[in-house]
Structure 1
Amino acid sequence: MNTNEIIIPCRLSYANIWEPKQVNGTGDPKYSCCLLIKKSDTNALAAIRKAIEAIKTDPASLAKWGGKLPPKLKEPLRDGDEEKDDENYAGCWFINANANADRHPRIIDRACNEVLDQDEVYSGCYAKVKVGFFSYSASGNRGIGAGLEVIQKIRDGERLSGGNNLDGFEVLTDEDDDFLN
Structure 2
Amino acid sequence: MENTSIVVENVRLSYVHLLKPYGRDPMAKQKYSVTILLPKSDVEGKQKVDAAIAAATRNGIANKWNGAAPAKVPTPVWDGDGLTQNGNKFGPECAGHWVFAASTPADKPVDVVDGRMNRIIDATQVYSGIYANVCVNFFAYNYQGKKGIGCGLGPVQKVRDGEPLGGSAPTAKSVFHVIQEPAAPSAPAINPLTGQPM
In the superposition, the TM-score normalised over structure 2's length comes to: 0.79
Equivalent position SS for 2:51? helix
**Residue 38 (structure 1) aligns with:** 39
Q: Which has the higher strand share?
A: 1
**Residue 8 (structure 1) aligns with:** 8
Out of 146-155 and 79-88, give the one that drifted further. Answer: 79-88
C-alpha RMSD over aligned residues: 2.2
Equivalent position SS for 1:82? coil
| Structure 2 residue runs without a partner (length 5+) | 84-88, 180-198
Give me the whole-angstrom Cα distance separating, in 2, the residues matched to 1:16 and 1:61.
32
Is 1:68 aligned to residue 73 of structure 2? no
Which digits, 9 at most, give the CA deviation of each residue in 1:116-140, with x for residues without a partner? 1111111100000001111111122
Which digits, 9 at most, give the CA deviation of each residue in 1:8-65, with x for residues without a partner? 121010001111122322321111100000011101001100111111122x544311
Given residue 143 of structure 1, which amino acid in structure 2 is its aligned partner? G
- By how many angstroms is 1:6 displaced? 0.5
Give me the whole-angstrom Cα distance separating, in 2, the residues matched to 1:86 and 1:11.
13
Which of these residues, 65, 89, 102, is aligned with residue 107 of structure 2? 102
- 8 Å Cα contact 1:62/1:69 also seen in 2: no
Out of 140-149 and 20-29, give the one that drifted further. Answer: 20-29
Out of 112-121 and 36-45, give the one that drifted further. Answer: 112-121
Is 1:22 aligned to residue 23 of structure 2? yes
Given residue 165 of structure 2, which amino acid in structure 1 is its aligned partner? L
The list of structure 1 runs, each at least 4 consecutive aligned residues, that deviate by more than 4 angstroms after superposition, is 166-173
Give me the whole-angstrom Cα distance separating, in 2, the residues matched to 1:26 and 1:64.
27
Q: Which has the higher helix share?
A: 1
- By how many angstroms is 1:171 displaced? 4.3
Give the 5 Å matches for 1:123-162.
123-162=128-167
- 8 Å Cα contact 1:78/1:93 also seen in 2: yes
Give me the whole-angstrom Cα distance separating, in 2, the residues matched to 1:102 and 1:61.
29
Give me the whole-angstrom Cα distance separating, in 1, the residues matched to 2:134 and 2:115.
12
Give me the whole-angstrom Cα distance separating, in 2, the residues matched to 1:168 and 1:155.
23
Give me the whole-angstrom Cα distance separating, in 1, the residues matched to 2:157 and 2:12.
11
- 8 Å Cα contact 1:13/1:36 also seen in 2: yes
